[in-house]
Chains A and B, each alone.
Chain A
Amino acid sequence: MLRPFGPNEVLFIVLAAQWTIALSAIAFLGGGLGGLAVALGRVSPRTWLRRLATGFIQVFQGTPLLMQLFLVFFGANAFGLGLNAWVAAAIALTLNASAFLGEIWRGSIQAVPSGQWEAGTSLGLHYGRLMRLVVLPQAFRIALPSTVGFLVQLIKGTSLAAIIGFTELTRAGQIINNATFKPFLVFGLVAALYFAMCWPLSLLAAWLERRMAAAHAR
């Protein structure tokens, strides 16, 4: 017997969006830290660090996010750690975000004019202070539009956690669809909720980009 698609079902889906937001937030914070490390590794004066960071980025950008999720989820089980789907998804998305943010921020760091690096060095700043006081603050401004754009990609990526069984927005839609069999309504609502999260960020990213292009044109 099919359940009707009533207010309770809608509420179940809407409330599941909080897990999508939580997963995105954790992956963005973790990926932010990891991405900074990867970006600094990519521009490091040490060759082995540069190679390590480059390899990390290539592997995570050259393989499907779904496989990365499976590897963390099933890998932890193979090694007897037994992570639940929630932790596995958070770890996999964090690693994935680290690679993508690392590559975005590498570009931004290298876009800071070399005169700035030289000026910092000639003021006697060593590498750490040069990065922290001169390069990174300027790179941050350059990186902002693409970073916001990546956030959209990350939110959409969290939907794959549904495949390993974590009940976020997409999985909630699947559950309700199986019970009510109203796929148009259910997945329409799920899509609308994702759209409500992602579209403002897309608009923000586009606006930031236009503003930066205008600042450059001056």
Chain B
Amino acid sequence: MSFTLRFGPVFEAWRELAAGVWLTLQLSASAMLIGLLVAVVCAWAKVFGPRWSGWIVNVYVEVIRNTPFLVQIFFIFFGLPAAGIRLSPDVAALAALVVNVGAYATEIIRAGIQSIHTGQIEAGLALGLRPVQVFRLVIIKPALRAVYPALTSQFILLMLSSSVVSAISADDLTSVANNIQSRTFTSFEVYIVVTLIYLVLSLAFAGAFRAIDRRVFSYPVAR
């Protein structure tokens, strides 16, 4: 059993790796933002919407949460063109990530909305606000605050699972790693370095989320 690890070729490709980090950051940050919007709308539909919309959201959430992300991305990337919707790998990857994180975040935000005291909602209505205004001005911010830790750990999981988009050769950090390893034959070394980069990225996201928490949710709550 003899082996030598060659990290030289990996570090020589640092520019490519840095570009890969940027791609993964862009991809996951966009998926987080759009996914958050999807989830807020779906959670609203589930709690306040008509019964049929709640049903549709339920089916969406259960289907996504009980099937693997890899199958979802294959379905979107290979399946939609058969229905006449042709997507580039990058767009398909973003769409799949949004659909995926939207379902998980819907359940989390629904729990947040339901933790808001009905007295708050009634007070808003009594002040003459329309239901949409009550949702936007009274409910959503404390609801997000209540579930912020669960929501942000879901977002970090999203960033980690975004590595799977390399399976349809969308551009991200893992695809960059695949390219480097097929060129230099240093697969183990490349993946060690990239794994460490992902670890740093998840710590960085956790730090960023804590900073956002301090800025956005710094007001005191009455208990």
Q: Which residues of A contact B (CB under 8 A)?
A: 58-59, 62-68, 70-71, 74-75, 77-81, 152, 155-160, 162-163, 170, 173-174, 177, 182-184, 187-188, 190-191, 194-195, 198-199, 202
Return B49 CB to nearest CB of chain A, in Å. 22
Q: B166 to chain A: which residues have CB within 8 Å?
A: 66
Give Cα A158 to B81, complex, Å. 26
Are B83 and A173 within 8 A (Cβ)?
no
Summarize B's interface: helix, strand, loop or mixed.
Answer: helix
Q: For B41, what are the chain A residues with a Cβ–Cβ distance below 8 Å? A: none
Task: Determine the distance from Cα of A155 to Cα of B202 in the docked complex, in whole angstroms.
Answer: 23
Number of interface residues of B (CB under 8 A): 41
Q: Are A71 and B191 in contact (CB under 8 A)?
A: yes
Q: Which residues of B contact A (CB under 8 A)?
A: 1-3, 5, 62-63, 65-72, 74-75, 78-79, 81-83, 160-164, 166-167, 174, 181, 187-189, 191-192, 194-195, 198-199, 202-203
Q: How far is the CB of A176 from chain B (nearest CB, A)?
A: 12
In the complex, residue of chain B having the shortest beta-carbon distance to the beta carbon of A160: B70
Chain A interface secondary structure, helix, strand, loop or mixed? helix
- A156-B164 in contact given A64-B198, A173-B74, A187-B74 (Cβ < 8 Å): no
Are the CB atoms of B68 and A194 closer together than 8 Å?
A: yes
Cβ–Cβ < 8 Å partners of A157 in chain B = 68
Question: Is the pair B71, A187 in contact by a Cβ cutoff of 8 Å?
Answer: yes
**Residues A156 and B163 in contact, CB atoms below 8 Å apart:** no
